[in-house]
Amino acid sequence: MKRHTARRMRAAVATAAVLLVAGCSLIGTDGGSEGETVTLVTHDSFAISDEARRHFERESGYELRVNKMGDAGALTNELVLTKDAPVGDVAFGVDSTFYSRALDFDVFEPYRPQGSGSIPVKYAVVDPRLTPVDAGDVCVNIDKSWFAQHDVPEPENLADLTEPRYRGLFAVPSPATSSPGMAFLLNTIDGFGRQEGWKNYWRQLMSNDVRISSGWQEAYNQDFSGSAGNGQRPIVLSYASSPAAEVGEDGESRTRALLDTCYRQVEYAGVLTGAEHPKRARELMDFLLSWKFQSQVSEQMYVYPTVLGVDLPENWQDVAPLPPEPAEMNPEVVEQNREQWVSQWRELTRS
Amino acid sequence: MFRTRRSGRTGAVTTPGKPAGSAARRPLLFVGAVAVLGFLGVFFAWPVLAILHRGLRPETALVLVDHGTWRIVAFTLGQAAASTALALAAGMPLAYLLARVRIPGKVLLRAVITVPFVLPTLVVGMAFRALLGTAEPSVSAIVLANAFFNVAVVARTVGGLWAQLDRRAEDAARSLGAGPLRTFGTVTLPALRPALWSATAVVFLFCSTSFGVVLVLGAGRYRTLETEIYLRTVRMLDLSGAAALSLLQLAAVLAALAVAALARRRRESAGGVRAAERPARNPRGAEWLVVAAGGAVLAALLVPIGALLVRSVSSRSGWSLAGYRALSGTGDGALGVSGWQAALNSLRTATDATWMALSLGVLACLVLISLRKRWTAELMDTALMLPLGVSAVTVGFGYLITLQLLPGDLRTSPLLVPFAQALVVTPLVVRTVLPVLRSVDERLREAAATLGAGPWRVRREVDLPLAGRAICTAAGFGFVVALGEFGATGFLARPEAPTLPVAISELISRPGELNTQMAYASCALLMLVTAGAVLVIESLRTDSVGEF
């Protein structure tokens, strides 16, 4: 018996060895790359088309490496923590909510990339350390067919959502645990007043049976009736671009973003302080504002390009236009009050 | 009567009679201990201490006087205790089925009950949310889901030992007139205790650091130390508050481990482990009740699994395989690689994590059984368990600020993911293998030494063969844990090499029906890969005596 087990042990060890040799291991897969590389640190939602990536690599001669670091908040905090030894050359994805924090901690170096002259005033920032690359506005979305079937008029603005006829219809992710949820909270604070106004609004939402979930995934992909999840609620907090993902075979979207309920989220990029390859970093920054990159952000990341003259994908003009007058809040005010607002919101919604 | 025999045996083990070749063993022991503790130091202690050090400030203490903090501590421990109790209650009948009942295709059963363990918490959380119809925050849903994930730990740990127990002791008790309950309580249960404690400790740690389940089913309202540390670190960059909570988490984990160690004292030697066994047979009489309970648990485990499978073939316009077809692509660029490639990445990462954890774990066990001082052994044992109880985000952020100091900036190396996973898997290896090694009769080793075997020869010829089965179990389970690991992996995986759980999380975070379908199809693929891995590994350990 003992012999037998020992033999099987050897067999197992041999199998393991074969597996390792046969490539069932990561050892040796490190692209201890021969060529020159440039590293982009970004958030989990980053995506780039193969074509755009190849274009950049061909034109610059650098291999583009992408390092994803969680959502916009996680990304910003990780950049702050690794300030003295950055994990890349360029960071993309710090958003309006975390803009101030990134600047306060001197994470970025000043650089104005080529093409920044074509960024319209509404996105332009004074600080040369961060460049707006795209906008991903957060808006209330509705399931059009639900309202048609139930013969209920569609809501148009935030105040409508507290009306009794929309009772039990709205799903929203929590500002404490979700980025779009946070944008929505800021939107209500901006719209209804920083003192008691927003709190009253949320009290009304609560008594109108709003459903709060921890993340966008549950709210949109499960609770919302207009998504693939076939949920129960026809109103959800999502993005201005979401209807573009719900286009049916007839070319119409099943959903619509309410353009009067939007909050502007701009995503920025910058050269990291202490980057290993500052020159390559600047070239990558130029690329992020180039037509080649800007023209594919909509389809890849469901966001809007910031550079003038870059067209949206064909049907976006109809199903997911850029909100004309979204709400915005001064990043410094956000940075100073974020935690306090979240804890006040927690108190408010606990009951 | 049995007790007397057991304590007699225990006495024999702990008698400080000169162990075989102790003088020659010292340096080797030292090298082994240095290797294990070195890994733990570099990939766990250093990053965690560094991030705590960054956060600790005088005002850190303020968090401790906030009564909200203590509510969080209480809720964390309470939900973990309830979840552990439920997982134990549900896991025992399954353990019995696995160990004692002759069922055709038992390997398949083992594979099926392992599947829940690897599923992404976000997806399972959403499945429970739909199944229970509780969109409102619900503690019982959290407890149910935690138990769902951990039933496999109980069934496998306890079932593994149960299968090796000498059945004749129970038969003797029965023939002496003890009823089935009394026999279970006085003979079986005491003999299972080492495995029960192992399982309890591991499940409790898993549940107290459970993250996705608490977030999704608590709808962001119920807070545990784990979710709060995450939010403070990742959202607020409140490293000071996070450090305070991490210290509390550490203290809670240490307290739990100390309780487990005390309870385990002198008990982790499983009585009467035999290399050859033939315990499975057809159930009789009241045993059918247990079988029925096991069947009910199995059915309950299958409901969420089934729901996910149904979801993977559903679309707005009826049944559809679009999600599966999409696996060959990158989901409109959502993933850096195709779904199949992600599955391959999962396998490769888990393979690396498994061999690392096996080497470390077995080495650690050999060191642990060689240590003569009980408290040194307990300390090292506890240190090995700690990674299970510390927040993944604490370790991950710690990596960011420490690992660049090592040559070759590991922060962006593909090997960092298996390293982090090995950290989680190693304690499981130790908990599986150590009880068996502890129960090896010291006289066997002494006999081998008398016959002229050197210290390593004794280990090789006596300990390893006897523990071979446990090592294979550990390998299988470790592999599965690595396959499903998300806390550290999600944090560290590189976009060009996502594992399946990472891919699922990215897909479900995008709008559009195809992305959702592909996310659920990836879940199905993950289940398949898991079941396949379990089948392969189980087939390795089926020995000639066999239970089938």
**Does residue B548 belong to any structural domain of this protein?**
no
Q: B264, B291, B312 — which closes off a domain?
A: B312
Same domain, B328 and B387: yes
The CATH number linked to B42 is 1.10.3720.10
| A126 and B CB contact within 8 Å | no
Residues in A 68-107 with any Cβ partner in B closer than 8 A: 68, 70-71, 73-74, 76-78, 80-82, 85, 87, 101
CB contacts of A223 in chain B (<8 Å) are 135
Q: Which residues contact B160 (CB under 8 A, 6 or more apart)?
A: B99, B195, B432, B469, B470, B473
Same domain, B215 and B170: yes
Three-state DSSP class for residue B370: helix
**Cross-chain residue pair B352–A25, CB shorter than 8 Å:** yes
Instruction: Supply the pLDDT for residue B4.
Output: 33
Q: B293, B312, B331 — which closes off a domain?
A: B312
**Cross-chain residue pair A12–B475, CB shorter than 8 Å:** yes
Residues in A 15-54 with any Cβ partner in B closer than 8 A: 15-16, 19-20, 23-27, 29-30, 39, 44-50
Nearest residue in A to B344, CA atom = A24
Q: Using alpha carbons, select from A186, A178, A219 the residue that is nearest to residue A96.
A: A186
**Does residue B8 belong to any structural domain of this protein?**
no
Please state the three-class secondary structure of B100-166 as a single string.
HECCCCHHHHHHHHHHHHHCCHHHHHHHHHHHHCCCCCCHHHHHHHHHHHHHHHHHHHHHHHHHHEC
A81 closest CB neighbour out of B316, B349, B400: B400
Q: What is the pLDDT of residues B73-102, one digit of tens each?
A: 999 999 999 999 999 999 999 999 988 888
Three-state DSSP class for residue B32: helix
Q: Using alpha carbons, select from B280, B339, B356, B326 the residue that is nearest to residue B498.
A: B339
**Cross-chain residue pair A24–B219, CB shorter than 8 Å:** no
Side-chain-facing half-sphere of B215: CA atoms under 13 Å: 26
Instruction: Supply the pLDDT for residue B475.
Output: 87
Three-state DSSP class for residue A81: helix
Instruction: Supply the pLDDT for residue B7.
Output: 34
Same domain, B205 and B279: yes
Distance from CA of B404 to the nearest CA of A (A): 7
| Count helices and strands in chain A by DSSP H and E runs | 13, 12
Choice among B4-18, B23-37, B175-189, B419-433 with the minimum mean pLDDT? B4-18
Instruction: Supply the pLDDT for residue B3.
Output: 33
Chain centroid, CA B344 distance in Å? 22
Q: What is the pLDDT of residues B341-370, one digit of tens each?
A: 999 999 999 999 999 999 999 999 988 888
Distance of alpha carbon B401 from alpha carbon B47, whole angstroms:
7
CB contacts of B237 in chain A (<8 Å) are 76-77, 80, 101
Distance from CA of B492 to the nearest CA of A (A): 8
Distance from CA of B226 to the nearest CA of A (A): 13
**Cross-chain residue pair B126–A24, CB shorter than 8 Å:** no
Distance from CA of B102 to the nearest CA of A (A): 23
**Cross-chain residue pair B506–A101, CB shorter than 8 Å:** no
Q: What is the pLDDT of residues A42-59, one digit of tens each?
A: 998 898 998 999 999 999
Residue tagged 């009880």 (tokens): B435
**Cross-chain residue pair B412–A212, CB shorter than 8 Å:** no
**Cross-chain residue pair A245–B510, CB shorter than 8 Å:** yes
Q: CB count, 10 Å around CB of A306?
A: 26
Same domain, B326 and B254: no
**Sheet containing strand A211-213, strands side by side:** A211-213, A170-173, A235-239, A138-143, A255-257
Q: What is the pLDDT of residues B369-385, one digit of tens each?
A: 888 777 888 888 889 99
**Does residue B286 belong to any structural domain of this protein?**
yes
CB contacts of B234 in chain A (<8 Å) are 70-71, 73-74, 77
Same domain, B258 and B355: no
Same domain, B60 and B43: no
A82 closest CB neighbour out of B129, B401, B494: B401
Give how many domains chain B has, as a whole number.
2
CB contacts of A66 in chain B (<8 Å) are 336, 494-496
Q: What is the pLDDT of residues A185-237, one digit of tens each?
A: 999 999 999 999 999 999 999 999 999 999 999 999 999 999 988 899 999 99
Provide the token pair at A50.
Answer: 């193969």
**Cross-chain residue pair B54–A178, CB shorter than 8 Å:** no
Nearest residue in A to B539, CA atom = A12
Q: What is the pLDDT of residues B221-267, one digit of tens each?
A: 899 999 999 999 888 888 899 999 999 999 988 888 888 777 766 54
Q: How does residue B279 score in pLDDT terms, banded at 50, 70 and 90?
A: low
Distance from CA of B349 to the nearest CA of A (A): 6
Instruction: Supply the pLDDT for residue A16.
Output: 61
Domain containing residue B242: 56-312
Distance from CA of B150 to the nearest CA of A (A): 23
Distance of alpha carbon B219 from alpha carbon B221, whole angstroms:
5
Instruction: Supply the pLDDT for residue A213.
Output: 93
Same domain, B155 and B273: yes
Instruction: Supply the pLDDT for residue B65.
Output: 85
Same domain, B91 and B191: yes
Distance of alpha carbon A121 from alpha carbon B365, whole angstroms:
65
**Does residue B317 belong to any structural domain of this protein?**
no
Provide the token pair at B454.
Answer: 């050197």
A8 closest CB neighbour out of B352, B468, B491: B468
B540 closest CB neighbour out of A15, A49, A245: A15
Instruction: Supply the pLDDT for residue A28.
Output: 59
Choice among A25-29, B19-23, B413-417 with the minimum mean pLDDT? B19-23
Percent above pLDDT 90 for chain B: 34
In this predicted structure, the answer to whether residue B19 has a pLDDT above a threshold of 50 is no
Instruction: Supply the pLDDT for residue B20.
Output: 42
**Cross-chain residue pair A76–B349, CB shorter than 8 Å:** no
**Does residue B2 belong to any structural domain of this protein?**
no
Q: What is the pLDDT of residues B477-515, one digit of tens each?
A: 889 889 988 888 877 877 778 899 999 988 988 888 898
CB contacts of A338 in chain B (<8 Å) are 236
What average pLDDT score do residues A86-94 get?
A: 94
How distant, in Å, are the alpha carbons of A128, B87, B188, B362 from that of B152?
Answer: 55, 8, 20, 22
Provide the token pair at B188.
Answer: 């079986």
ipTM value? 0.86
In this predicted structure, the answer to whether residue A305 has a pLDDT above a threshold of 90 is yes
Whole-structure pTM value: 0.88
Give one word for A110, left, alpha or beta, with left for phi > 0 and alpha for psi -120 to 50. beta
Distance from CA of A11 to the nearest CA of B (A): 8
CB contacts of A12 in chain B (<8 Å) are 472, 475, 540
In this predicted structure, the answer to whether residue A63 has a pLDDT above a threshold of 50 is yes
Distance of alpha carbon A243 from alpha carbon A226, whole angstroms:
9
**Does residue B533 belong to any structural domain of this protein?**
yes
| A184 and B CB contact within 8 Å | no
CB contacts of A214 in chain B (<8 Å) are 215-216, 218-220
Chain centroid, CA B546 distance in Å? 25
Nearest residue in A to B540, CA atom = A12
Distance of alpha carbon B410 from alpha carbon B469, whole angstroms:
34
All domains in chain A, ordered by first residue: 37-136+265-319 (3.40.190.10), 138-263+327-350 (3.40.190.10)
Q: How does residue A239 score in pLDDT terms, banded at 50, 70 and 90?
A: very high
Same domain, B133 and B203: yes
Instruction: Supply the pLDDT for residue A241.
Output: 95
Q: How does residue A8 score in pLDDT terms, banded at 50, 70 and 90?
A: low
A12 closest CB neighbour out of B215, B508, B540: B540
Nearest residue in B to A51, CA atom = B333
Q: B312, B346, B372 — which closes off a domain?
A: B312
Q: Which residues contact B255 (CB under 8 A, 6 or more apart)?
A: none
A31-64 as b/e, with b when 16 or more CB fall inside 10 Å?
A: eeeeeebbbbbbbbbbbbbeebbebbbeebebbb
Q: Using alpha carbons, select from B244, B263, B278, B205 the residue that is nearest to residue B424.
A: B205
Distance of alpha carbon B294 from alpha carbon A35, whole angstroms:
58
Q: Which residues contact B52 (CB under 8 A, 6 or more apart)?
A: B243, B246, B247, B394
In this predicted structure, the answer to whether residue A27 has a pLDDT above a threshold of 70 is no
What average pLDDT score do residues B398-413 get?
A: 82
Distance from CA of B496 to the nearest CA of A (A): 8
Same domain, B47 and B93: no
Provide the token pair at B343.
Answer: 């599955």
Burial class (CB within 10 angstroms; exposed 0-12, middle 13-18, buried 19+) of B313: middle
Instruction: Supply the pLDDT for residue B236.
Output: 84
Nearest residue in B to A176, CA atom = B220
CB contacts of B315 in chain A (<8 Å) are 228
Q: CB count, 10 Å around CB of B384?
A: 25
Nearest residue in B to A220, CA atom = B511
Nearest residue in B to A16, CA atom = B355
**Cross-chain residue pair B516–A227, CB shorter than 8 Å:** yes
**Cross-chain residue pair A174–B472, CB shorter than 8 Å:** no
Same domain, B355 and B307: no
Q: How does residue A7 score in pLDDT terms, banded at 50, 70 and 90?
A: low
Cβ contact A122:A304 at 8 Å: no
To the nearest 10 degrees (0 to 180), the angle between helices B46-55 and B392-402 is 90
A214 closest CB neighbour out of B219, B461, B517: B219
In this predicted structure, the answer to whether residue B321 has a pLDDT above a threshold of 50 is yes
**Does residue B238 belong to any structural domain of this protein?**
yes
Q: How does residue A134 score in pLDDT terms, banded at 50, 70 and 90?
A: very high
A70 closest CB neighbour out of B129, B219, B491: B491
Q: What is the pLDDT of residues B116-160, one digit of tens each?
A: 988 888 889 989 988 887 678 889 999 999 999 999 999 988 887
**Cross-chain residue pair A9–B464, CB shorter than 8 Å:** yes
Instruction: Supply the pLDDT for residue B547.
Output: 27
Provide the token pair at B258.
Answer: 């100390």
Please name every residue paired with A239 in a beta bridge, in sequence order, or none if there are none: A138
**Does residue B87 belong to any structural domain of this protein?**
yes
Nearest residue in B to A75, CA atom = B234
CB contacts of B414 in chain A (<8 Å) are 26, 29-30
Same domain, B361 and B443: yes
Amino acid identity of residue B526, one-letter, is L
Distance from CA of A108 to the nearest CA of B (A): 18
